[in-house]
Amino acid sequence: MAADRLAGVSADPDASLLGRTPGLDEAHYEHDGLITKHAVRAVVLAALRPLPGQLLWDLGAGAGSVGIEWCRTDPRCRAFGVESRPGRAARARINAARLTLPGQLEVVDGTLDEVIESLPRPDAIFIGGGLTEELAQRCLALLGAKDRLVATAVTLEAELVLSHLHMHCGGELLRISVETADRIGPLHGWAPARTITLWAVAAGSGDTPAGAPTTTLRGR
Across the range 9-19, mean pLDDT stands at 88
Q: Is residue 210 part of a domain?
A: no
Mean pLDDT, range 182-209, rounded to an integer: 84
Q: What is the pLDDT of residues 150-176, one digit of tens each?
A: 999 999 999 999 999 999 999 999 999
Q: What is the mean pLDDT of residues 7-27?
A: 86
Mean pLDDT of all residues in 42-71: 96
**What is the mean pLDDT of the segment spanning 38-67?**
96
Q: Is residue 73 part of a domain?
A: yes
**Residue 4 clears pLDDT 50, i.e. is over it:** no
Q: Grade residue 37 by pLDDT with cuts at 50, 70 and 90.
A: confident
pTM score: 0.87
Inform me whether the pLDDT recorded for 69 exceeds 90: yes
Domain that holds residue 128: 26-202
Q: Domain for residue 145, yes or no?
A: yes
3-class DSSP state of 198:
strand
**pLDDT of amino acid 157:** 95
Q: Which amino acid is at 142?
A: L
Asked if residues 18 and 24 have their Cβ atoms less than 8 Å apart, the reply is yes
Residue 210, pLDDT above cutoff 50 = no
Where residue 71 sits, what CATH number does that domain have? 3.40.50.150
Residue 120 belongs to some domain of the structure = yes
The predicted structure's pLDDT at residue 3: 40
Q: What is the phi/psi pair of residue 13, to 5°?
A: -65, -25
Number of domains in the chain: 1
Confidence class of residue 16 from pLDDT cuts 50, 70 and 90? very high
Q: Tell whether 144 is covered by a domain.
A: yes
Taking a C-beta distance cutoff of 8 angstroms, is the pair 64, 58 a contact?
yes
Per DSSP, the residues of 48-68 read H---TT-EEEEES-TT-HHHH
Q: Please state whether beta strands 148-153 and 196-202 pair in parallel, antiparallel, or not at all (unpaired).
A: antiparallel
